[in-house]
Amino acid sequence: MSEQGKIRVLVWSEHTAPKAMYPNDINGVVADGLRQDPIFEVSTAELVDPDQGVSEEVLANTDVLAWWGHLLHRMVRDETVDRIERHVKERGMGFLALHSSHMAKPFTRLIGDDGRIGGVKHEAGPEEVKVLAPDHPIAAGVSDFSIDPEEMYDEEFGAGKPDTVVFHSTFPGGHEFRSGLTYTVGLGRIFYFRPGHEENPTYYRDDVRHILRNAAKWAAGRS
């Protein structure tokens, strides 16, 4: 890990988001949000890069890896997951799993579960996000908020055994989902954050960007 200077964050996505909503894909807009705080030194990577964007050298110079995947989970090679797992468990690299990365191979490997969800629906009405752990560093400066439009996920969530449920979401019709979960795996800290469907402008929101900056600092061991 780097010394108490910049936090080196690598934002990864598979480059499948609609260009009309995210011209520079999900990793581009998440990286822009992180760069609003000068503590972060941010770079981006994607599936088609050499070593799928996460070579041994790249990971060795990464404090936090943020991962957004959706359609191409199956294309992530086992050796890619092996490298990520080792850097999280043995070196203490943080890992942020975003939205549909509940099924991403690195996330499911790290938490020891399959990431299954009980249901999904597009344009399901407002997502009401409640802060359940207001004293957690990821929730610093965050109050309950609403996201509309946003995609709905429903329990049951194959999320392993999180240390803390920081955020919990409800949707019209009685649907609910644990939407912000923390884990400690080996030396590493992991955070799963549910909002962020690729057809919705969620990652442009100031409150979501604030949460992701908090999460990156926490995952790097800075809060």
Task: Compute CA 73 distance to the chain's CA centroid, rounded to the nearest angstrom.
Answer: 15
**pLDDT per position as a tens digit, 19-62:** 999 999 999 999 999 999 999 999 999 999 999 999 999 999 99
In a domain, 96, yes or no: yes
Q: What is the maximal distance between C-alpha atoms in the chain?
A: 48
In a domain, 185, yes or no: yes
Q: How far apart are the first and last CA of the chain?
A: 15
Q: Evaluate whether 175 touches 119 at the Cβ level (below 8 Å).
A: yes
**Total tally of structural domains belonging to the chain:** 1
Any idea what the CATH number is for the domain that residue 170 is in?
A: 3.40.50.880
Q: pTM of the full predicted structure?
A: 0.97
In a domain, 67, yes or no: yes
Backbone φ and ψ of 81, nearest 5°: -65, -40
**pLDDT per position as a tens digit, 83-139:** 999 999 999 999 999 999 999 999 999 999 999 999 999 988 899 999 999 999 999
Helix (H) or strand (E) holding 59: helix 56-60
In a domain, 169, yes or no: yes
Burial state string for 109-127 with b = 16 or more CB within 10 A and e = fewer than 16: bbbeeebebeeeeeebebb
